Structure 1
């Protein structure tokens, strides 16, 4: 505890520079801390110190990413990345929240409390891998992180501008022994796997990618240079070079919610379009049909396509491993039916938040998980990888069987298995469509989405709503679920669930049915029920007049 690495004077001197405003409190969530950049300097400084403590405890490099993903340009955020490239464990989210909210006077005391509780050996070295997105505030806030690292004697490797998934991948490589892992390591690995998989002829037609005026644009351009225009034609839109603002009327979140093209994009029927979010960890595809209706291919459609392809290769290679898909309650009901009934693949449901999906996915030998917003990836157990690799090298197998094993191994190499990655997920989708000779027309026809509607109801206290069964059913207030069930029974293919927001006093309502009119009506009825049963405030929701 009295180690020079935790002397109070240097910590307090830097803490004065990064002083915490009075009465400001924040919580570390799935995406770390997020908020107005102008009010978060102290958070970034303290997360630099926390990263050092976690690195010393685990004797591994820890990542720190400065980004607010799909949030507006004046926001910013910070999150820690654990040694295998995974998100920070939940128990340390509580520790991060405590350190962030400690008063300036109690800062050192809080640090000592963490050291004692986690039994951290302060004599250990600490290595922090740092990166940032393109927000105007990201450079100064990265400097605050570096001050925090310096305050506790850690070593910082600053990679500058990266996508969030690139840093996750580099952290994993570094802790796996590749100490010189960098941005170029990423490009070489994924471009090589993709080129091996698509081989000849090149990918048919081009794909237009809206990069949300974020860091994904320059990084996708570099990946494209490694792959080569002779293999795939990528057209980058909203590259941040013009007057467009980060995530403003563009990006995956905008396209998913608004179900329309991003700003400045003139669409053509059946052309492939994709949108990243601001830090390039989400992707959605979309197009127009022959009548110029907007066709969204979201996370559910991406997960279904990937699951279909992996299942086909497993069947052809006769590799006996357990494949599963993980969704949240927000997944469209017909996507679940397609995977379970048509593909005969098990579908598990997890709570909202990719960390929950990831934890569930690793229970399968191969786990495909995506949120409907386009954030997801594929997890593969090490023994499963070994089984596939042995089959790919087994000359005794029939040629078709061995070839399928080789394709499966290479396809899984295209996936960034540490975290959802818009760039590698895009390569996976492009490779599948190429292999099957499909356009977006055939992909969209895998199943038809049930019409759905999402609403929110403001309440006095969101904690009155408690849920179970991966947020699909309520346990409180008493009798609420029975009333929801009665409303759902009124509508063909009806389904509805409610869940409290994680950040504000609102209850989120999801409903789906056989028609958009029915889905809208069910959502309104459930919203009124929530207002009446869960302490609604403000204007009461109303059903539309017939």
Structure 2
């Protein structure tokens, strides 16, 4: 395997919350090693889970860099049940890119010995490969196929897919669900499961046929496909749902690789909002002759796992990101739970970037159990799975609603015989929301359902809560510095004097507010955290007034600049 280099120097990338990312030159040798790793994972996972049907042993590799520019690429590893691979296998993945070829091979052999699996059994593995629309995806796919051919492992190219689609394919094959059409590539491996878009369309149609949903108006969705793979998926979805929803797509130049995520996509919309002329000009043509309460602009990223919405209210656009999606879906599920014949618990999962006023709404007004986890959708998803029903979203629009196996079993039984509409709807909703990852297309389809059921128009959705203003920055460093945080990554525990200095800045800013000190003290917060994959410090401030937030941000910038200089001087 070729050495892993960056800018002509040895480079050791880290396994982030969603896999590896970097330039194709960096990712290429990693792709070879991860392909070998996943062939072993197939066999070990089958033995761990006591899977009796060999055809259910299918793991996935998706080549995508999500919202990154087209020059980058990445690798996401998907377990046989559609979930991310376990933590210990993520650690193995990280070790494999740090070690020599010889040591990496020995590491794989050790995993086989530990699981009492013979090397000859590797040919029983099955790997599904997918990619987004980046040109370098073909190179990575070819490299993976060469490794699998050398190992004599059966594999299939699923073509251009979204990341949620790959998760869905693994999950459907694992569950051996034969209801619906089977994607031809997967069928060739003996796998069974419904086609992804067919499944979403079928469940949405079943929900839309419930009498409780009013059909007086036809919702219009303007879909920003980020010039990525979503363009292909929405062509199919448009045809299947033409009588139910009006879907109009923009930024669909999938044939022009340089356009991917360029001045479009969920990250661009979330960061630019209504202040950017490009954003305004993109949406303006769709406002004419439309009822504002029936028009929603939706923006996806390059692999369709993030969703950001925008609505036209009172003559201006308002961007509704992950916090507003979470607020809407919590309202939706709460209302359903108040009408079902079974009692289930509901929890909300947020990261430190979740808006404080939304946390307050969930805790104080709704009485929900709210869990704060470290940034990263993987952390949110795993925490959400611990509850009967969990609603998790990152502020960037990545999230879903999860239902425990116990709850889904009960709902399935109720669906067959219950006359209570909420029982049927909750069961179907559990099949529409992805249970393995954030799925932007599925989440988009749930938006009109939630609005209808809760009696909201877009103005009502916007008004569920009023977000606190926030400010943020990132400090790029020549190399990492020593900063260790608590588990939630909201406070620095080492060096402790650095956190004490941050607290003093907050206290001094609050003291300047005179009679508003108590209100500011309740709302003002900040945190500093190092990136898990890059030499970057991320700083976030949130409070009642933007001017105070930026004042705190400036003070933190000076504090951190001095700390970084001193650290590099001491460690030179």
**TM-score, normalised with respect to structure 1:** 0.88
**Kept in 1: contact 2:229–2:254 (CA 8 A):** no
Task: Show the 5 A alignment for 1:148-167.
Answer: 148-167=147-166
Structure 2 partner of 1:216: 230
Structure 1 partner of 2:15: 28
1:127 aligns with 2:114: no
1:486 aligns with 2:504: yes
Structure 2 partner of 1:522: 552
Structure 2 partner of 1:40: 27
Cα separation, partners in 2 of 1:139 and 1:55, compared to 1, 3 Å: same
SS of match in other structure, 2:119: coil
Structure 1 partner of 2:307: 283
Shift of 1:437: 4.2
Structure 2 partner of 1:441: 459
Shift of 1:51: 1.2
User: In structure 2, how many angstroms separate the alpha carbons of the residues matched to 1:119 and 1:496?
Assistant: 50
Q: Deviations over 1:226-262 (max 9, x none)?
A: 2x21100111110125767001111111111222466
SS of match in other structure, 2:344: coil
Match for 2:474 among 441, 446, 456? 456
Structure 1 partner of 2:51: none
Structure 2 partner of 1:247: 261
1:79 aligns with 2:69: no
Shift of 1:474: 1.4
Structure 2 partner of 1:471: 489
Q: Deviations over 1:38-63 (max 9, x none)?
A: 34322212221111111121222111
Shift of 1:447: 0.6
Gaps of 5+ in 2: 47-56, 185-193, 511-519
User: In structure 1, how many angstroms separate the alpha carbons of the residues matched to 2:544 and 2:152?
Assistant: 60
User: In structure 2, how many angstroms separate the alpha carbons of the residues matched to 1:454 and 1:281?
Assistant: 23
Structure 2 partner of 1:8: none
User: In structure 2, how many angstroms separate the alpha carbons of the residues matched to 1:274 and 1:108?
Assistant: 45
Structure 1 partner of 2:283: 266
SS of match in other structure, 1:74: coil
SS of match in other structure, 2:199: helix
**TM-score, normalised with respect to structure 2:** 0.84
1:232 aligns with 2:219: no
Cα separation, partners in 2 of 1:319 and 1:528, compared to 1, 3 Å: farther
Gaps of 5+ in 1: 1-14, 539-546
Q: Deviations over 1:210-230 (max 9, x none)?
A: 01000011112212222x211
Structure 2 partner of 1:301: 324
Shift of 1:469: 4.7
User: In structure 1, how many angstroms separate the alpha carbons of the residues matched to 2:553 and 2:116?
Assistant: 50
**Kept in 1: contact 2:335–2:454 (CA 8 A):** no
SS of match in other structure, 1:212: coil
Q: Deviations over 1:470-499 (max 9, x none)?
A: 111111112232332333343422111111
1:319 aligns with 2:342: yes
User: In structure 2, how many angstroms separate the alpha carbons of the residues matched to 1:48 and 1:367?
Assistant: 33
User: In structure 2, how many angstroms separate the alpha carbons of the residues matched to 1:169 and 1:223?
Assistant: 16
Structure 1 partner of 2:52: none
Structure 2 partner of 1:544: none
Match for 1:512 among 542, 545, 552? 542
Cα separation, partners in 2 of 1:118 and 1:210, compared to 1, 3 Å: same
Q: Deviations over 1:150-195 (max 9, x none)?
A: 2222110211111000010000111112488438621222111111
**Kept in 2: contact 1:49–1:151 (CA 8 A):** no
Structure 2 partner of 1:3: none
Which stretches of structure 1, 4 residues or longer, exceed 6 Å deviation after superposition?
none
Q: Name which of structure 1's ranges 184-193 and 294-303 shifts more when overlaid on structure 2.
A: 184-193
User: In structure 1, how many angstroms separate the alpha carbons of the residues matched to 2:415 and 2:44?
Assistant: 39
Q: Name which of structure 1's ranges 372-381 and 85-94 shifts more when overlaid on structure 2.
A: 85-94
Structure 2 partner of 1:336: 359
Cα separation, partners in 2 of 1:450 and 1:502, compared to 1, 3 Å: same
Structure 1 partner of 2:183: 182
**Kept in 2: contact 1:203–1:231 (CA 8 A):** no
Structure 2 partner of 1:52: 39
SS of match in other structure, 2:234: helix
Cα separation, partners in 2 of 1:342 and 1:504, compared to 1, 3 Å: same
**Kept in 2: contact 1:333–1:450 (CA 8 A):** yes
User: In structure 1, how many angstroms separate the alpha carbons of the residues matched to 2:217 and 2:144?
Assistant: 42
Shift of 1:107: 4.9
Residues matched between the structures, number: 515
Question: RMSD between aligned alpha carbons?
Answer: 2.4
Task: Show the 5 A alignment for 1:399-418.
Answer: 402-418=420-436
Task: Show the 5 A alignment for 1:409-428.
Answer: 409-428=427-446
Shift of 1:113: 3.9
Cα separation, partners in 2 of 1:178 and 1:531, compared to 1, 3 Å: same
Q: Name which of structure 1's ranges 63-72 and 334-343 shifts more when overlaid on structure 2.
A: 334-343
SS of match in other structure, 2:243: coil
Shift of 1:123: 3.4
Shift of 1:465: 1.4
Shift of 1:454: 0.8
User: In structure 1, how many angstroms separate the alpha carbons of the residues matched to 2:4 and 2:114?
Assistant: 24
Cα separation, partners in 2 of 1:166 and 1:146, compared to 1, 3 Å: same
Cα separation, partners in 2 of 1:185 and 1:42, compared to 1, 3 Å: same
Shift of 1:102: 3.1
